Structures are given as structure tokens and as C-alpha cells.
Chain A
Amino acid sequence: MLEIKEIWKTFNAGTVNEKQALRGVSLTLNDGDFCTVIGGNGAGKSTMLNAVAGTWTVDSGTISIGGTDVTRLPEYKRAKFIGRVFQDPMLGTAPTMQIIENLALAARRGQTRSLKWGITKAEKERYQELLRGLDLGLEDRLTSKVGLLSGGQRQALTLLMASLQKPKLLLLDEHTAALDPKTAAKVLELSDRIVEENHLTTMMVTHNMKDAIVHGNRLIMMYDGRIVIDVSGEEKKKLTVPQLLDLFSKVSGSDEADDKLLLS
């Protein structure tokens, strides 16, 4: 479903701030794969997700989604294939617009926006039903401005928005990192449910090793702009946090993992 081949990205090339963020990353996700991504700060996790989403273009390498080469497509055109939830709850929704308007915008992801009315009656009922499923009491607040919602409510709404127009690929970029533990757990549970119900191919970046092990069927760890660990299937199911740390120090040749990864 997703095929990344040898992508490289350097930021601020030629300056003192030069940073090789991605150094030849290759990754293939099969249809329905739920892949968790871990790694320390600056390892390239979010950079990889942004490369796929098209926030900027990569220096070299190719990215294709569902057989379509998207390497040169601008972000808004790739959006047709991709649903996204960001780390910052503010980023995923339009705060000055109503809940129902946000949903209607998301339902038209990847379609031409014409002079037809922005929200149909049938949609309204569908959204009400879907919001009821979130169990956050949002079904009675369709016309509330999203800016009034809490961080957790917004992330839940953004997840729902990402799945309205079934994406070929769902990108979750530390989408629970800004939430309190209880809310984070709820949003993660909801993510699992939405991924399962819609059978979505998913990449989830997380800081939390336990979450990375519990969720999904595949786990990759990044270090210094490369993928250094890739486990899946039975092997992943049996994985424990100490094992993962062991594996990491072997690959990276340092104990740095203890400081950076155990923080969460």
C-alpha cells in the first residue's frame, strides 16, 4: 500500500544548522498493516511521516501510495490518499468553524470543491450518528465551534475526520503526546477501533514503547535518520520493553535509548 524507496532529506543544507534528517529510508507497508514507529528525538520519525504526507518534497528517493507515485505531488493532492492526525490538537481542525463544517470539509477530502452547498441534510444525520459513536457528547453540539473543544475531543474529532473519506493510508504523528494519560488512552483506543473498522493501513509515531508494542502488527525503530529495527508478526507480539531497549543499544551502539525513550 505504501512503498518508500531510499528517501533522503537534508534541512538547511550548506549552513551550520545542516541536518540530515532522513538518510536512505526504505519501507514497504502491506494493505492493512498497522505499523508503529518509535525512536529518540531527532531520529526522523515525524520527518518520515511529513515526507509521506508531502509537507515538503524529499531530496531523492521515491514514495508511492497504492501504486501511485506521489513523490512530486504537492501536499494538497496527496491528501486524496492520506488521513492525518497531528501531535498538536490545534493543527487538525479549523477552530473558527463548526464541528459539522469540519466534518463536511473532511468528507470532501480529495474531491473537487464546487459551488454545491457545503453540507447536505443526509450528511448531517450521518455525522450525528458517527459522533454518538465517539461517546463524547458531541452529537448534540454539531454547530459548536471546534475552538471550544478540549484537546482530547479535538483529536477524537480529527480521527473521525481522517476516516470519513476512507484513506489509503492513515498517519498518526504522536497524536496522543499532548494529552493527559487518561485521555491519551481513550484516544488510542478509538484509533484502534477506527483502524480496525475501516481496515486502514496505518503508521503511528509514538514516544511510548509500551504503546508501540501493544498496538499494531509491525514495529519499526528509527535512529539517526534510518530504520534500525523492523519487527512484525509473532516476533512483535512477544516483544517486551527491556528486549526492545536491548535491541536498540545493540543496533545504535549506545545506551542513549534509556534516557530518551523511557521518558514517556
Chain B
Amino acid sequence: MNPIALLNSLPGAVSQGLIWGIMAIGVYLTYKILDVADLTVDGTMCTGGAVFIMLTMAGWSIPAALLASFAAGMLAGLATGLLHTACGIPAILSGILTQLALYSVNLRIMGKANQPINANNYKLLVSSRNVKVLSVENPILVVGIVCLVVIALLYWFFGTELGCALRSTGSNPAMSRAQGINTNFTTVLGLMLSNGLVALSSALLSQYQGFADVSMGRGAIVIGLAAVIIGDVIFGKVFTNFALKLLSVVIGSVIYYTVYSLVIWLGMSGDDMKLITSLIVALFLSIPYWKGKYFSKPAKKGGAANA
């Protein structure tokens, strides 16, 4: 219970939180904007890292490998999207199917269950060894900038005609079709974008930890949801702007990993963290339901006096 140890673990927690924040933004896009719970991400959270490491070791440049990871994630999203829209399989099951398939795909990409990459031999973008170094290579700085760029790009995209169509698809699919929006297309596009971001996060994570592992994405959806929910609970009322909402997701992720190190520091086993995360997410997802059931006031009838 040495406070210095806790302090020492904080920079690592913040870096990890920021990296997972990009993943959580991906979850936000599907869960909050498209209104679809996409379980593909558990697989994509490994695919991105696997693709990145293999391509880097094959001599690709870092930016090219990152782009390829993003593209690989988009392909995974495309698979889920087509299962859902073209084959009529419920979204949640489509995600599970792709996720399971990705397990084999990830093993094929890496050739084995765990693929390390040596930061000495490659000029990686982020590495955990720089986490306490005050330099431009500090992962908190690097990933922080990546987060801001991602948020800026998404802010722009969701303000465009196409982005608005995507948002309306999640808000009211029947109305969207009545307005001439091909909701199948926008749903697939949203899933691709989301999984692309998750794969990007995975690529950063594999660099940070120095390896990609076939199980690194297990339960990723729940961690992503936790970040989204924490961000929403703390900043939901204050942050109404879309960019700020995305920022709150990233902050939610950082808080999650800070709490994670705190729990470890308190002497609990890291193995229990998935149980705790599940319980927390389950609790926060139940609260709106309970609120509606036990604490609701009689709803106002439609057509108020000023209508």
C-alpha cells in the first residue's frame, strides 16, 4: 500500500486509458449513435494489433501499417454489417459470429497465439517504456494527440450530410427511410467506421505493450461500454456538444484504467477486474430501467397546450 507505487502506476494507466479511449469511441458510435450493440469489437481489438505487428515486421512503415490495421477493422465491420443487413441476422448475433470467426483469422494472421515486437528494432509510435519520460515520445502525449485528431475528424464527419444520415438511422430508422436514406448502407458504414477505430486502438495497444495476443480483445465490448457509461454519467449533463461527448468517452476510459490501477494497488487481483467491470456496467445499465419502473412520474400526454 505504498502511495509512491500508486503514483508510479498512474502514467501507465492514463496511457492505456487513452489508447482504449479510441476503442471506446468506436463502441460509442455503434452503441449510442447507431443503437446497435456490436460484439465484433472483441475480435477486432486483436485484429488491428495482429495486422500492425505482422506488417511492421514485414518492413511496412508505421503509418502504412496503422492505415492497414484501420482497413482490416473496417473489413471486420463490413462482415458484421452484411450479415446483419444482407442476411437479416440480428445485429448482436452477427457480431458474435464475426467475433468468433476473427479468432481463427487472428491466429492465421499472427501464425501463433502471441506475437511480440521488439521496440529496439522498430521505430514504434508508442511504447510503455517511454511512459515516464518527459519527451515527445511519451505515449500520453502521442496517443492524446491521436485521440484529438480522431475526435476532430468524427466531429466533421457527423456534421456532413452523410454523417447526419447515419445519426438519423440510429435515431429513427423508419423516418430515415422515409427521407430517402438507405439505412442498410448507413448501418454497414457505421459498423465499418466503428471497427476501424477499434482496430486502430488495437494497433496502438500492441505497440504500447510490445505484443499482440489472440486474447487481448476478450471482453473489450464491456470495457468500451464502461468507458462510455462512465463518461456519460459524469459529463452527460454538462457536455452537449458532439465533440465533447466523444471527449467524455475518452475521459471515461482514462478513469476506468485509473480505477483499475487503484484496485490493483489495493491488493486485489487483476484477474477479478473483468468481474468487477461486468458488475459495474450491469449496474449502470439497470439504473435507467429501475428509474423508469419505480421512480417514474406520470408521463405528460402528447399535444400540449402550445401545440
Q: Which residues of A contact B (CB under 8 A)?
A: 53, 74-77, 79-80, 82, 84, 86, 89-97, 101-102, 104-106, 108-111, 113-118, 136-137, 150-153, 156, 161, 178-180, 183, 186
Contact = CB atoms under 8 A, between A and B. Distances in A.
Interface of A is mostly: loop
Given A76-B182, A93-B172, A179-B302, A156 B307 contact: yes
Nearest to A187: B307
B303 A94 contact: no
Nearest to B163: A118
B307 A101 contact: no
A152 B303 contact: yes
Nearest to B162: A113
Contact of A105 (B164, B183, B302): B164
Given A95-B171, A113-B165, A76 B180 contact: yes
A113 B302 contact: no
Contact of B165 (A105, A117, A180): A105
The 6 A-B pairs at the shortest CB distance, nearest first, are namely A152-B307, A151-B302, A79-B180, A94-B171, A150-B304, A113-B161
A84 B306 contact: no
Nearest to A85: B178
A93 B176 CA distance: 8
A113 B181 contact: yes
B160 A117 contact: yes
A105 B307 contact: no
Contact of B307 (A102, A109, A183): A183
Contacts of B180: 76-77, 79-80, 108-111
Nearest to B169: A94
B301 interface: yes
Contacts of B181: 76, 79, 105, 113
Contacts of B174: 86, 91
B168 A150 contact: no
Contacts of A77: 180
A183 B302 CA distance: 10
Given A91-B174, A93-B175, A150 B307 contact: yes
A110 B163 CA distance: 16
A75 B177 contact: yes
A82 B178 CA distance: 8
Contacts of B306: 136-137, 150, 153
Given A76-B177, A91-B174, A95-B171, A152 B304 contact: yes
Most chain A beta-carbon contacts within 10 A, residue among B174, B180, B306: B180
B167 interface: yes
A101 B161 CA distance: 10
17 contacts: A76-B182, A79-B178, A91-B175, A92-B175, A93-B175, A96-B167, A97-B171, A105-B164, A105-B168, A105-B181, A136-B306, A150-B304, A161-B179, A180-B301, A180-B303, A183-B303, A183-B307
A109 B175 CA distance: 11
B171 A76 contact: no
Contacts of B307: 136, 150-153, 156, 179, 183, 186
A79 B179 CA distance: 6
Interface in B232-251: none
A95 B302 CA distance: 14
A117 B176 CA distance: 18
B111 interface: no
A53 B180 CA distance: 11
Contact of A178 (B161, B164, B172, B302): B302
Contacts of B270: none
Contacts of B178: 53, 75, 79, 82, 84, 92
B90 interface: no
Given A75-B177, A86-B174, A95-B172, 7 more contacts: A90-B172, A94-B175, A97-B168, A102-B168, A108-B161, A118-B159, A150-B303
A136 B160 CA distance: 28
Interface string B27-42: 0000000000000000
Contacts of A96: 167, 170-171
Contacts of B167: 94, 96-97, 101
Nearest to A79: B180
B70 to A, nearest CB: 18
Contacts of B157: 115
A197 to B, nearest CB: 21
A151 B160 contact: no
Contacts of B161: 108, 113-118
Contact of A94 (B163, B176, B182, B304): B176
A117 B159 contact: yes
